[in-house]
Structure formats: structure tokens, C-alpha cells
């Protein structure tokens, strides 16, 4: 009974967070909204990535419980140039063997879980996401001892109520 109750509360929190994100996103316009507008709606970013030509990308992580990670790009003029939810099959397809941990973090945001496999000398990073239309999944990237991608793949999220 307590497990079901905790799962129900968790699901309610996720729905509330998703609804808040949709509202905040709808209030922002690419090319119009400013860095101040982004910070007012989303708060301080977890990470700020510097890009070419003075562009900066703000990481807004919704892991471990959420299923989205947002990357919001701010141009050198202080205006928002892009807002992307990066946990999706199109972004996952960009992950290639040999990429570094930093490359993957910049692309997908901080993972929900990091699992070391000492005997194999590997580390797995996991992200929760929704595969269209509405299937709870986990995307995993395995890194070797040189902190470079070995392989990646997706599987149903074992923590999702529909997958138990």
C-alpha cells in the first residue's frame, strides 16, 4: 500500500513539474525573450556551457524523477536563440563511440544515475525519457576506462508503474 501511495505521489509531482515546464516554455519566444526572462521562469541553470561566438547554453535538468532535460541557448546579444528538450531519439542518435563524457553531458544534460562496473572497467549513465507516444524509457551510455563512449541503448524504464 505504501509503495502504491509513494508511486502515486511521485506521478503527481511529475505531472505538476511537466505542466509548470509547459507553461514556462509557452511564455518564452526564440529571438525575443532575454536571458532575464529565461532565468525568471526557470531559475538559475544547473550548468552554463560556453559555445562559439559568445553563445551560452543553460542546462535545466529534470532528472532523476523527470523525463526531460532542457538546453536553452542564449546568444551574445542576451536573447534566447533556442529552447530544446534534449531527451529524445533524435538527440540520442548523435551519441557515437569515442565521444567523451563531457561531450555526452553537453548534449543530454546530467544523467539521473551513474553506475560503475568495476570488474568491466565501465561506467553507465542513465536518463529517463518518454518515447512517443508515451512510453517510459531509460537511455544508457556506457563509457570505458578512458571515459569515452563504448555503446548506448534504450530499454523500458523498470521504475515506471506500467513496466513493473
Residue-averaged pLDDT of the chain: 89
How many angstroms separate the CA atoms of 11 and 62, rounded?
A: 14
Closest to 11 in 3D by CA, of 66, 69, 63: 66
| pLDDT for 14 | 42
**Mean pLDDT value of segment 96-100:** 98
**Mean pLDDT value of segment 96-105:** 98
Strands laid side by side in the 56-61 sheet? 47-50, 56-61, 69-74, 80-85
pLDDT in tens, 52-70: 999 999 999 999 989 999 9
Which domains does the chain possess?
Answer: 2-85 (3.30.1450), 89-158 (3.30.1450.10)
Percent of the chain with pLDDT over 90: 77
**Mean pLDDT value of segment 115-139:** 95
| pLDDT for 33 | 97
Closest to 85 in 3D by CA, of 125, 129, 123, 41: 129
Give 65's contacts (C-beta < 8 A, 6+ positions apart): 10, 13, 14, 17, 112, 128
Spatial contact of 109 and 100, defined as CB atoms under 8 Å apart: no
| pLDDT for 5 | 44
pTM score, two decimals?
0.84
How many angstroms separate the CA atoms of 69 and 63, rounded?
A: 7
Other beta carbons less than 10 A from residue 32's beta carbon = 9
User: Which is higher by pLDDT, 160 or 100?
Assistant: 100
Amino acid at each position: 500500500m505504501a509503495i502504491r501511495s509513494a508511486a502515486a505521489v511521485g506521478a503527481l509531482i511529475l505531472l505538476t513539474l511537466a505542466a509548470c515546464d509547459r507553461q514556462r516554455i509557452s511564455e518564452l519566444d526564440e529571438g525575443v525573450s532575454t536571458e532575464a526572462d529565461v532565468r525568471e521562469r526557470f531559475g538559475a541553470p544547473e550548468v552554463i556551457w560556453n559555445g562559439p561566438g559568445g553563445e551560452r547554453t543553460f542546462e535545466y535538468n529534470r532528472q532523476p524523477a523527470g523525463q526531460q532535460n532542457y538546453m536553452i541557448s542564449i546568444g551574445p546579444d542576451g536573447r534566447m536563440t533556442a529552447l530544446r528538450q534534449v531527451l529524445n531519439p533524435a538527440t540520442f542518435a548523435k551519441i557515437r563511440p569515442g565521444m567523451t563524457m563531457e561531450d555526452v553531458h553537453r548534449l543530454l544534460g546530467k544523467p539521473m544515475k551513474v553506475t560503475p562496473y568495476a570488474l568491466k572497467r565501465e561506467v553507465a549513465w542513465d536518463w529517463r525519457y518518454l518515447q512517443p507516444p508515451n512510453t517510459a524509457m531509460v537511455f544508457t551510455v556506457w563509457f570505458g576506462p578512458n571515459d569515452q563512449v563504448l555503446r548506448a541503448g534504450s530499454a523500458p524504464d523498470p521504475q515506471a508503474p506500467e513496466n513493473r
